[in-house]
Structure 1
């Protein structure tokens, strides 16, 4: 990741590769995943590499559930993540599901 961030300021990924599932489960009840690491590939690695990151809502899925955007910067580059998140929060449209408007 250090080499990646020599060339790029931020890595932008989805927060999760799947839609939210019911509380009380460590893995989605569908049986497709065996462990929490199977469905969290965009978030947990950055705790291991000590990179600052932020997750923020950026939209809604077809059921009106939140979809997250994950921003990751190089080690010790916290301000890059915070600045990008602030800009996105300012310019992304507000989240409203069909029944909330």
Structure 2
């Protein structure tokens, strides 16, 4: 995964994804209620990989869902490219 993402970042400065694939859910649950997700890894596909590959990332609020709950935008740069993430986050802020 680290090698694939390093190759990706040779062509692209940033990877932009949603922060989460689901809306916020009530505290006290490891997974969103409703049975679609079985494990925390099922609902964190846009954040957990970058912890493993040691890539800098930032999550910014970018709007609200249809229930008025916050939606996040996730910015990821190549390894050791922290300033790219920080600059993009500042511009979008």
What is the TM-score when the length of structure 1 is the normalising length? 0.87
Moved over 3 A (4+): none
Distance 1:32 1:12 in 2: 24
Q: Is the partner of 1:79 in helix, strand or coil?
A: helix
2:63 counterpart residue number = 59
Deviations 1:18-41 (A, max 9, x none): 111111000011011110000010
Which structure dedicates a bigger proportion of its chain to helix? Answer: 2
1:78 counterpart residue number = 82
2:16 counterpart residue number = 12
What is the TM-score when the length of structure 2 is the normalising length? 0.94
Distance 1:33 1:62 in 2: 21
Q: Which runs of 5+ in 1 are unaligned?
A: 90-101
Q: How many residues align?
A: 89
Pick the structure with greater CA Rg.
Answer: 1
> RMSD across aligned C-alpha pairs, in angstroms?
0.4
Distance 1:63 1:29 in 2: 16
2:44 counterpart residue number = 40
Q: Which runs of 5+ in 2 are unaligned?
A: none
2:30 counterpart residue number = 26
